[in-house]
Structure 1
Amino acid sequence: MYATLADVLARYPAEATVLAADEQTRQRDDTRIEASLVDGALEIRAILSARYTPAELGNLDADSRAILSIYQIDIALYRVALSYGRGNERVKDRYDAALKRLEAIAAGKGALTVEGAGGDAQPGEPSSIGPAQPVVEAPERLFTRDRLRGW
């Protein structure tokens, strides 16, 4: 999970209350929001699995987790709105934008940064190698100009 109920309420307090209000009690149904957050996290992982392993998604840095939190909130609020039949254009537009951005990241048109990725980095320290950069390891060259002098 990249976002919590507290994150949703901090970002969109009025919208969460209106979209998730129970028909009988008129109270916000937090369990519906939390279930939608779980569904949103699954949807994010399903999209990003085209490019990132589960281990990489578990080791994202703070900035990458923050952006995925925003996308997860937008996806969750859309799902809540659908489940109560209270969808509106703003919520739908944010959902569509989140999916479009996630698909672009999965296609390589953007990137998430993973802590400790790459060959020389120690666990827990940032790496200079990005998630989409190839790492090539090969033995030392046998035939160089210096070794072939005199042939």
Structure 2
Amino acid sequence: MTYATLADVLTRYPAEATVLAADEQTRQRSDVRIEASLVDAALEIRAVLTARYTPAELANLDADSRAVLSIYQIDIALYRVALSFGRSNERVKERYDAAIKRLEAIAAGKGALTFEGSSGGVTQPGEPSSIGPGEPVVEAPERIFTRDRLRGW
């Protein structure tokens, strides 16, 4: 599962994609290099976010969260392409570092992703309450020793 496509990369950074992923012989953009780096970037994103979210949750992201991860994936992918062909520059490195830092903050609970069908914790009457990511859930049997049960002892 990826969050960004080759078309997304070319829409956001057309000139950079061409320069960073150019074939050494033909000087033409190598779309195969960009697509491979997008797959690697998606794996890196999931590896960071797995600290907080399950694979099922990551597969059920809403459009806003997918758009945010798309931006991060593009920045990570372009850095990987640039690094692998010795064409890295400071601007690409800064975007990569910022993307990783933001992903780590989300994984640490300093931000959050939203999911399809979630209402931000607000439930309608008759609906089961939704539990947010990272929220503790405690299930326990009913109390045995209560004041009413201990009366008369």
TM-score (norm: length of structure 1):
0.82
1:6-39 deviation per Cα after TM superposition (whole angstroms, max 9, x unaligned):
0000000011011111111010000000000000
The alignment of Structure 1 onto Structure 2 pairs a total of residues equal to 142
**Identity between Structure 1 and Structure 2 (%):** 82
For the pair 1:130 / 2:132, whether they are aligned, the reply is yes
TM-score by length of 2: 0.81
3-state SS of 1:2 partner: coil
Shift of 1:83: 1.4
Instruction: Note the residue ranges of structure 1 that are not aligned, 5 or more in a row.
Output: 122-126
Match of 1:6 in 2: 7
Say whether residues 1:25 and 2:26 are aligned partners. yes
Provide, for residues 54-94 of structure 1, a one-character-per-residue CA deviation record: whole Å limited to 9, x for no partner. Answer: 00000011111100000000000000001111000000000
Correspondence for 2:126: none
Taking the TM superposition and a 5 Å limit, the aligned residue runs for 1:73-84 are: 73-84=74-85
1:96 partnered with 2:97: yes
Task: Give CA deviations for 1:116-150 in whole Å, capped at 9, x if unaligned.
Answer: 469998xxxxx864323334566788968xx79xx
Flag structure 2 segments of 5+ consecutive residues without an equivalent: 124-128
In the alignment, the residues of structure 2 paired with residue 55 and residue 117 of structure 1 have an alpha-carbon distance, to the nearest angstrom, of 14
Partner secondary structure for residue 90 of structure 1: helix
Superposed CA RMSD in Å reads: 2.5
